[in-house]
Amino acid sequence: MTTHTITAAAAGTWQLGDRTVNRMGFGAMRLMSDADGTPSDRDRAIAVLRKAVDLGVDHIDTAAFYFSELRSANELINHALAPYPDDLVIVTKVGPGRGPSGEWLPEARPEQLRGQVEENLRQLGRDQLDLVNLRIGEGLERGTGSLAERFGALAELREAGLVRHLGISNVSAEHLTEALAIAPVVSVQNQYGLTARREDDALIELCAEHGVAFVPFFAIASGSEHKAVTDIAAEHDVTPAQVRLAWTLHRGPNVLAIPGTGSPAHLAENIAAAALRLSPDELARLTG
Protein backbone atom coordinates (compact mmCIF):
# COMPACT_ATOMS: atom_id res chain seq x y z
CA MET A 1 0.00 0.00 0.00
CA THR A 2 1.34 3.45 -0.86
CA THR A 3 1.36 5.78 2.12
CA HIS A 4 2.40 9.19 0.83
CA THR A 5 -1.05 10.52 -0.14
CA ILE A 6 -3.25 8.80 2.45
CA THR A 7 -4.57 10.99 5.24
CA ALA A 8 -6.63 10.36 8.35
CA ALA A 9 -9.71 11.45 6.41
CA ALA A 10 -9.69 8.04 4.67
CA ALA A 11 -11.12 6.56 7.89
CA GLY A 12 -14.29 8.64 7.67
CA THR A 13 -15.59 10.90 10.41
CA TRP A 14 -17.51 10.76 13.68
CA GLN A 15 -19.37 13.45 15.58
CA LEU A 16 -17.58 13.76 18.92
CA GLY A 17 -20.00 15.92 20.85
CA ASP A 18 -20.25 19.08 18.76
CA ARG A 19 -16.95 18.43 16.95
CA THR A 20 -16.52 16.38 13.78
CA VAL A 21 -13.27 14.38 13.82
CA ASN A 22 -11.57 11.92 11.52
CA ARG A 23 -11.86 8.45 13.00
CA MET A 24 -8.10 7.93 12.75
CA GLY A 25 -6.40 9.89 15.53
CA PHE A 26 -3.14 9.80 17.45
CA GLY A 27 -2.13 8.70 20.94
CA ALA A 28 0.66 10.67 22.61
CA MET A 29 1.81 8.15 25.21
CA ARG A 30 4.56 6.62 23.04
CA LEU A 31 6.15 9.99 22.28
CA MET A 32 8.07 10.05 25.56
CA SER A 33 10.35 7.02 25.27
CA ASP A 34 11.85 4.80 22.60
CA ALA A 35 11.08 1.09 22.52
CA ASP A 36 14.11 0.31 24.69
CA GLY A 37 12.93 2.72 27.40
CA THR A 38 15.45 5.47 26.69
CA PRO A 39 14.17 9.05 26.37
CA SER A 40 12.84 9.86 22.93
CA ASP A 41 14.50 12.41 20.67
CA ARG A 42 12.66 15.65 21.41
CA ASP A 43 12.92 17.12 17.91
CA ARG A 44 11.67 13.87 16.37
CA ALA A 45 8.70 13.71 18.76
CA ILE A 46 7.74 17.29 17.90
CA ALA A 47 8.09 16.49 14.19
CA VAL A 48 5.81 13.44 14.58
CA LEU A 49 3.09 15.57 16.18
CA ARG A 50 3.28 18.18 13.44
CA LYS A 51 3.28 15.49 10.75
CA ALA A 52 0.24 13.83 12.30
CA VAL A 53 -1.72 17.07 11.99
CA ASP A 54 -0.42 17.56 8.44
CA LEU A 55 -1.76 14.07 7.63
CA GLY A 56 -5.25 14.97 8.82
CA VAL A 57 -5.20 13.86 12.45
CA ASP A 58 -7.60 16.16 14.29
CA HIS A 59 -7.91 14.38 17.64
CA ILE A 60 -4.96 13.61 19.90
CA ASP A 61 -5.13 11.57 23.10
CA THR A 62 -2.93 12.59 26.02
CA ALA A 63 -2.79 12.93 29.82
CA ALA A 64 -0.86 14.95 32.40
CA PHE A 65 0.44 11.66 33.82
CA TYR A 66 2.07 10.79 30.50
CA PHE A 67 5.61 11.76 31.39
CA SER A 68 8.99 10.08 31.60
CA GLU A 69 12.35 11.09 33.02
CA LEU A 70 12.89 13.82 30.41
CA ARG A 71 9.64 14.14 28.47
CA SER A 72 6.05 15.26 29.07
CA ALA A 73 3.45 14.44 26.42
CA ASN A 74 1.41 17.58 27.16
CA GLU A 75 4.49 19.82 26.96
CA LEU A 76 5.49 18.27 23.63
CA ILE A 77 1.97 18.83 22.27
CA ASN A 78 1.94 22.44 23.46
CA HIS A 79 5.35 23.18 21.96
CA ALA A 80 4.62 21.42 18.67
CA LEU A 81 1.08 22.56 17.96
CA ALA A 82 0.22 25.78 19.82
CA PRO A 83 -1.40 27.99 18.74
CA TYR A 84 -3.72 25.09 18.08
CA PRO A 85 -5.68 24.63 14.85
CA ASP A 86 -9.36 25.43 15.35
CA ASP A 87 -10.39 21.91 14.32
CA LEU A 88 -7.95 20.06 16.60
CA VAL A 89 -9.57 18.17 19.49
CA ILE A 90 -7.20 17.35 22.36
CA VAL A 91 -8.50 14.56 24.57
CA THR A 92 -7.06 14.08 28.03
CA LYS A 93 -7.89 11.94 31.04
CA VAL A 94 -8.02 12.28 34.79
CA GLY A 95 -8.40 9.89 37.71
CA PRO A 96 -4.92 8.42 38.02
CA GLY A 97 -2.15 10.76 39.08
CA ARG A 98 1.62 10.79 39.54
CA GLY A 99 3.87 12.71 41.88
CA PRO A 100 6.75 14.91 40.67
CA SER A 101 9.14 11.95 40.88
CA GLY A 102 6.84 9.78 38.78
CA GLU A 103 5.38 7.61 41.53
CA TRP A 104 1.75 6.60 41.08
CA LEU A 105 -0.64 8.18 43.55
CA PRO A 106 -3.90 6.73 44.90
CA GLU A 107 -6.82 7.24 42.53
CA ALA A 108 -8.09 10.80 42.74
CA ARG A 109 -11.00 11.64 45.00
CA PRO A 110 -13.83 13.76 43.55
CA GLU A 111 -12.48 16.94 45.14
CA GLN A 112 -9.04 16.34 43.58
CA LEU A 113 -10.28 16.17 40.00
CA ARG A 114 -10.42 19.94 39.56
CA GLY A 115 -6.68 20.11 40.29
CA GLN A 116 -6.00 17.43 37.68
CA VAL A 117 -8.11 19.31 35.11
CA GLU A 118 -6.24 22.53 35.92
CA GLU A 119 -2.90 20.71 35.58
CA ASN A 120 -3.85 19.67 32.03
CA LEU A 121 -5.03 23.21 31.23
CA ARG A 122 -1.69 24.67 32.35
CA GLN A 123 0.46 22.12 30.55
CA LEU A 124 -1.50 22.37 27.29
CA GLY A 125 -1.88 26.15 27.46
CA ARG A 126 -5.67 26.03 27.13
CA ASP A 127 -8.49 27.81 28.93
CA GLN A 128 -10.86 24.90 28.23
CA LEU A 129 -10.24 21.20 27.68
CA ASP A 130 -12.01 19.76 24.63
CA LEU A 131 -12.72 16.33 26.12
CA VAL A 132 -11.82 14.80 29.47
CA ASN A 133 -12.14 11.07 30.12
CA LEU A 134 -12.59 9.93 33.71
CA ARG A 135 -10.41 6.83 34.03
CA ILE A 136 -11.58 4.24 36.56
CA GLY A 137 -9.24 1.84 38.35
CA GLU A 138 -5.50 1.49 38.33
CA GLY A 139 -3.23 -0.23 35.83
CA LEU A 140 -5.03 -2.20 33.14
CA GLU A 141 -7.51 -3.92 35.43
CA ARG A 142 -11.06 -3.04 34.49
CA GLY A 143 -12.47 -0.50 36.90
CA THR A 144 -15.17 -1.50 39.36
CA GLY A 145 -17.52 0.28 41.73
CA SER A 146 -19.56 3.43 41.25
CA LEU A 147 -18.23 6.40 39.31
CA ALA A 148 -21.12 8.68 40.27
CA GLU A 149 -19.28 10.98 42.68
CA ARG A 150 -16.23 11.44 40.48
CA PHE A 151 -18.17 11.82 37.25
CA GLY A 152 -20.51 14.23 39.01
CA ALA A 153 -17.49 16.34 39.99
CA LEU A 154 -16.37 16.46 36.36
CA ALA A 155 -19.91 17.36 35.28
CA GLU A 156 -19.67 20.39 37.57
CA LEU A 157 -16.41 21.41 35.89
CA ARG A 158 -18.16 21.08 32.54
CA GLU A 159 -20.93 23.37 33.76
CA ALA A 160 -18.25 25.83 34.95
CA GLY A 161 -16.74 25.90 31.45
CA LEU A 162 -13.38 24.27 32.20
CA VAL A 163 -14.32 21.20 30.13
CA ARG A 164 -16.28 21.05 26.88
CA HIS A 165 -17.14 17.34 26.75
CA LEU A 166 -16.89 14.30 29.04
CA GLY A 167 -16.00 10.65 28.54
CA ILE A 168 -15.13 7.61 30.66
CA SER A 169 -12.29 5.10 30.46
CA ASN A 170 -11.56 1.54 31.65
CA VAL A 171 -15.24 0.95 32.25
CA SER A 172 -18.14 -1.46 31.87
CA ALA A 173 -21.58 -1.09 30.32
CA GLU A 174 -22.93 -0.44 33.83
CA HIS A 175 -20.54 2.50 34.21
CA LEU A 176 -21.78 3.97 30.92
CA THR A 177 -25.40 3.72 32.04
CA GLU A 178 -24.50 5.31 35.37
CA ALA A 179 -22.59 8.17 33.73
CA LEU A 180 -25.29 8.91 31.14
CA ALA A 181 -27.75 9.52 33.97
CA ILE A 182 -25.46 12.30 35.30
CA ALA A 183 -24.21 14.16 32.20
CA PRO A 184 -23.72 13.66 28.45
CA VAL A 185 -20.99 11.15 27.57
CA VAL A 186 -19.29 11.47 24.19
CA SER A 187 -16.62 8.73 24.44
CA VAL A 188 -15.70 5.46 26.10
CA GLN A 189 -11.99 4.60 26.06
CA ASN A 190 -11.08 0.99 26.91
CA GLN A 191 -8.34 -1.45 26.11
CA TYR A 192 -9.67 -3.44 23.16
CA GLY A 193 -8.38 -5.15 20.05
CA LEU A 194 -8.62 -8.17 17.79
CA THR A 195 -7.21 -10.45 20.48
CA ALA A 196 -7.89 -8.41 23.63
CA ARG A 197 -10.99 -7.60 25.70
CA ARG A 198 -13.42 -8.94 23.14
CA GLU A 199 -16.11 -8.89 25.83
CA ASP A 200 -16.44 -5.22 24.82
CA ASP A 201 -17.99 -6.17 21.47
CA ALA A 202 -21.37 -5.61 23.13
CA LEU A 203 -20.24 -2.34 24.71
CA ILE A 204 -19.37 -0.96 21.25
CA GLU A 205 -22.97 -1.60 20.21
CA LEU A 206 -24.32 0.01 23.38
CA CYS A 207 -22.15 3.06 22.75
CA ALA A 208 -23.45 3.27 19.18
CA GLU A 209 -27.04 3.21 20.43
CA HIS A 210 -26.28 6.29 22.54
CA GLY A 211 -24.19 8.11 19.92
CA VAL A 212 -21.03 7.56 21.99
CA ALA A 213 -17.60 7.02 20.44
CA PHE A 214 -15.70 3.88 21.45
CA VAL A 215 -11.96 4.54 21.46
CA PRO A 216 -9.70 1.51 21.96
CA PHE A 217 -6.23 1.86 23.38
CA PHE A 218 -3.50 -0.74 22.77
CA ALA A 219 -5.52 -1.83 19.72
CA ILE A 220 -2.45 -3.06 17.83
CA ALA A 221 -0.69 -4.72 20.75
CA SER A 222 -0.13 -8.44 20.35
CA GLY A 223 1.99 -11.25 21.70
CA SER A 224 2.70 -13.91 19.12
CA GLU A 225 1.03 -12.71 15.92
CA HIS A 226 -2.24 -14.22 14.77
CA LYS A 227 -1.73 -16.27 11.54
CA ALA A 228 -4.77 -14.74 9.83
CA VAL A 229 -3.35 -11.28 10.53
CA THR A 230 0.02 -12.10 8.95
CA ASP A 231 -1.60 -13.84 5.97
CA ILE A 232 -3.94 -10.93 5.23
CA ALA A 233 -1.12 -8.44 5.74
CA ALA A 234 0.96 -10.29 3.14
CA GLU A 235 -1.97 -10.40 0.70
CA HIS A 236 -2.41 -6.61 0.94
CA ASP A 237 1.32 -5.86 1.19
CA VAL A 238 0.82 -4.09 4.52
CA THR A 239 2.02 -4.68 8.07
CA PRO A 240 0.17 -6.75 10.70
CA ALA A 241 -0.31 -3.54 12.72
CA GLN A 242 -2.10 -1.97 9.75
CA VAL A 243 -4.42 -4.98 9.52
CA ARG A 244 -5.22 -4.71 13.23
CA LEU A 245 -5.97 -1.00 12.88
CA ALA A 246 -8.18 -1.59 9.85
CA TRP A 247 -10.03 -4.35 11.74
CA THR A 248 -10.57 -1.92 14.62
CA LEU A 249 -12.10 0.71 12.33
CA HIS A 250 -14.33 -1.94 10.75
CA ARG A 251 -15.93 -2.65 14.15
CA GLY A 252 -18.42 0.18 13.74
CA PRO A 253 -18.80 3.77 12.57
CA ASN A 254 -18.49 4.98 16.18
CA VAL A 255 -15.09 3.30 16.69
CA LEU A 256 -12.09 5.66 16.61
CA ALA A 257 -8.42 4.68 16.53
CA ILE A 258 -5.59 6.38 18.44
CA PRO A 259 -2.39 4.49 17.57
CA GLY A 260 0.70 6.07 19.03
CA THR A 261 4.30 6.13 17.85
CA GLY A 262 7.43 8.23 18.07
CA SER A 263 8.53 7.17 14.58
CA PRO A 264 7.65 9.25 11.48
CA ALA A 265 7.64 6.08 9.34
CA HIS A 266 5.30 4.23 11.68
CA LEU A 267 3.05 7.29 11.85
CA ALA A 268 2.62 7.23 8.06
CA GLU A 269 1.92 3.48 8.15
CA ASN A 270 -0.66 3.84 10.92
CA ILE A 271 -2.52 6.60 9.12
CA ALA A 272 -2.37 4.67 5.84
CA ALA A 273 -4.36 1.91 7.58
CA ALA A 274 -7.33 4.31 7.42
CA ALA A 275 -7.61 3.43 3.72
CA LEU A 276 -7.30 -0.35 4.13
CA ARG A 277 -10.63 -2.03 3.41
CA LEU A 278 -11.13 -5.62 4.53
CA SER A 279 -13.63 -7.87 2.80
CA PRO A 280 -16.34 -9.76 4.71
CA ASP A 281 -14.33 -12.94 4.11
CA GLU A 282 -11.18 -11.36 5.55
CA LEU A 283 -13.07 -10.07 8.58
CA ALA A 284 -14.47 -13.57 9.13
CA ARG A 285 -10.97 -15.07 8.91
CA LEU A 286 -9.71 -12.60 11.50
CA THR A 287 -12.52 -13.19 13.97
CA GLY A 288 -12.74 -16.92 13.31
Cis peptide before 83 (omega within 30 of 0): yes
- Contact between residue 153 and residue 171 where contact means Cβ atoms under 8 Å apart: no
Cβ-proximal residues to 132 (8 Å cutoff; 6+ apart), any chain: 91, 92, 93, 94, 117, 120, 154, 157, 163, 165, 166, 167
- In the annotation, is 66 catalytic? yes
d(CA 113, CA 118): 9
- Contact between residue 110 and residue 122 where contact means Cβ atoms under 8 Å apart: no
Continuous H helices in the chain: 42-54, 73-81, 113-124, 148-159, 173-180, 201-209, 227-236, 240-249, 264-272, 280-287
d(CA 250, CA 245): 9
- Provide the 10 A C-beta neighbour count for residue 150: 23
Q: Which of 66, 67, 151, 247 is catalytic?
A: 66
d(CA 272, CA 233): 13
Catalytic residues: 66
